[in-house]
A and B are shown apart, each in its own frame.
Chain A
Amino acid sequence: MTSDSAPQSPLRRYRWAIIGLVITAFVVIIFAPLASSDPDGLDRVSEDKGFSGQGKDAPYEFLPGYSIPGIDNERATVILAGLAGVAVVFALTTAFGAYLRQSRRGSQT
């Protein structure tokens, strides 16, 4: 039988992280398409106070407005863009954390 000190497979060890990502995917799939289309706090103020027109467009567009160009189905485009964003954000942040931890250990030994 495996004790606590026995090496576990990474899949078991980080099961909580996988569950966290599954929950995150559900947030994108279920909640993102239900998002209110009313302007958010800052947006609303910029409209009410007449400075929303001062906002400049980005110099380039990649996945603007959380949609994938070419996918017209409103639900599908938001969900796919959201899942892509989740994957990128997870990978980037985890890589960053791993690098930070590694560089610390490297400098101590």
Chain B
Amino acid sequence: MPIFLLHAPDGFFSTPVAITFWVLTAAALALSLRRAGATLDERAVPLMGVMAAFIFAAQMFNFQIPGGTSGHLLGGVLAAILLGPYAGTVVMACVISVQALIFQDGGLLALGANIFNMGIVGTFGGYWLYRTLAAVLGGEQRSRLPAAAIAAWSAVVAASALTAVQLAVSDTTSLSVALGAMVGWHIFIGVGEAVITVGALAFIAASRADLLRLRDSRPATTWEPAR
């Protein structure tokens, strides 16, 4: 058993499921590339690189959860909180692609689904939840960390549920079995995601709070949560 096998290999998802999620990922990535370019602050460029490097490194650290299972950071919510959903999506796509292409972690046909589940669910869905929660809880300045914690946990659980659906549609296993098992473990793994996301944000807030405003540093960067 390899120690570091993190992402779905080819064969877990059927070809139609894999292709469907390649198409969805390609569409989200195309949108992100267009929008990210329009709103990137000069300092956001190296921040994209540093975030991608950090998320790659953190994903190598599988933390122990009870019951003989481990989990690792996904990082989509963290990337989107710092960089916005579009640049955050580009970051996640770079990380997960390098893992597949250079480290043989995650299949090439499954890469679309892997980027969608571990990246886009967090950078779009998780980020939307973060903005909504932050607004409800009295503004991002005040409630950044609790909103980030809930969004990070939710993104992991949602990603695991989506993976279960993909496995079931692929006829790899039944939906009830996959859903119970995947969500059951990821309820705990999501706690690790929340801890690392909050820790990184708290560290940046304490040391370089100005980087937390990079996302909105250009007037064009007004991404409103859907109402």
Contact = CB atoms under 8 A, between A and B. Distances in A.
B181 A48 contact: yes
Contacts of B223: none
B105 interface: yes
B47 interface: yes
B136 to A, nearest CB: 29
Nearest to A66: B4
Interface of A: 14, 16-17, 20-21, 23-25, 27-28, 31-32, 34-46, 48-51, 54-67, 78, 81-82, 85-94, 96-98, 100-101, 103-104
Contacts of A62: 101-104
A48 B180 CA distance: 12
Given A86-B53, A104-B37, A38 B94 contact: no
A36 B63 contact: yes
Interface stretch (B20-28, B66-74, B119-127, B143-151): B66-74
Interface in B64-89: 64, 68-72, 87
B173 A39 contact: no
B50 A27 contact: no
Interface of B: 1-12, 33, 36-38, 40, 42-54, 56-58, 60-64, 68-72, 87, 90-91, 94-95, 98-99, 101-105, 107-108, 160, 163, 167, 172-173, 177-178, 181-182, 185-186, 189, 207-208, 211
A104 B94 CA distance: 20
15 contacts: A16-B207, A35-B4, A35-B62, A40-B6, A49-B177, A54-B11, A56-B11, A62-B103, A66-B103, A86-B57, A89-B53, A89-B94, A92-B98, A96-B90, A101-B37
